[in-house]
A and B are shown apart, each in its own frame.
Chain A
Amino acid sequence: EDQVTQSPEALRLQEGESSSLNCSYTVSGLRGLFWYRQDPGKGPEFLFTLYSAGEEKEKERLKATLTKKESFLHITAPKPEDSATYLCAVQSTSGTYKYIFGTGTRLKVLA
């Protein structure tokens, strides 16, 4: 069964304190792994798509990496505006290509 586990559930950082969020997955065949940011009361906002192990994507203070079992979202020198819930999803090559989401990591960056 396809499964996604995110850790930690919640993370508090001081402004400028770099850290990483983890997304572990099991899937029969990986079509893609997706990172989204979700602010309270809003829908998920697309950040990155990763397709194969070793791939990396960067955007401002965020960098996503992918291995065969997990993905990391690295946050470098975060700012308070980076506070949000970060969701990871995987898409399998089998079946109907639906996304399986993790429960997210709630990030709070303190000024």
Chain B
Amino acid sequence: EAGVVQSPRYKIIEKKQPVAFWCNPISGHNTLYWYLQNLGQGPELLIRYENEEAVDDSQLPKDRFSAERLKGVDSTLKIQPAELGDSAVYLCASSLSSGTQYFGPGTRLTVL
């Protein structure tokens, strides 16, 4: 069974440029999460979807970050404009309802 797929794996951009990350969850998983992980830290939740609905986006910086999960399957996380402090690993995870979360390989973003 395929795991959580994320792309791209690496992205380098100049500050103020836009960037987007894509995630395809495990087949059948209705809940999808986006996390941010800084070096030496644990993942921190940005947004959680149940099907198409964002049920927890309290930690998402809405002035520059946006996310969507059309059709309740794959999802896109966007940053516009990117800042130097956004450099981190962006992880996507999925689960069946509120069960165990399974993570993708992450996208490492570097903002110059």
Q: Using a CB–CB distance below 8 Å, which chain A residues touch chain B?
A: 4, 31-32, 34, 36, 41-46, 49, 87, 89, 91, 95-99, 101-104
Contacts and interface: CB of A to CB of B under 8 A. Distances in A.
A95 B48 CA distance: 12
A49 B100 contact: yes
Contacts of A45: 103
Given A43-B4, A43-B91, A101 B106 contact: no
Given A34-B100, A49-B100, A101 B44 contact: yes
Contacts of B61: none
A46 B102 contact: yes
Given A99-B45, A104-B41, 9 more contacts: A42-B106, A43-B91, A44-B91, A46-B100, A89-B42, A96-B48, A96-B55, A103-B40, A103-B41
B14 interface: no
B40 A44 contact: no
Contact-residue bracket for chain B: 20 to 34
B72 interface: no
B97 to A, nearest CB: 9
A108 to B, nearest CB: 15
> Which 5 pairs from chain A and chain B are nearest by CB?
A101-B42, A43-B103, A96-B56, A97-B98, A44-B103
**Residue in A41, A98, A103 whose Cβ sees the most chain B Cβ within 10 Å:** A98
Contacts of B45: 98-99
A91 B98 contact: yes
A34 B42 CA distance: 13
B36 to A, nearest CB: 11
B43 A101 contact: yes
A44 B74 CA distance: 20
A89 B108 CA distance: 22
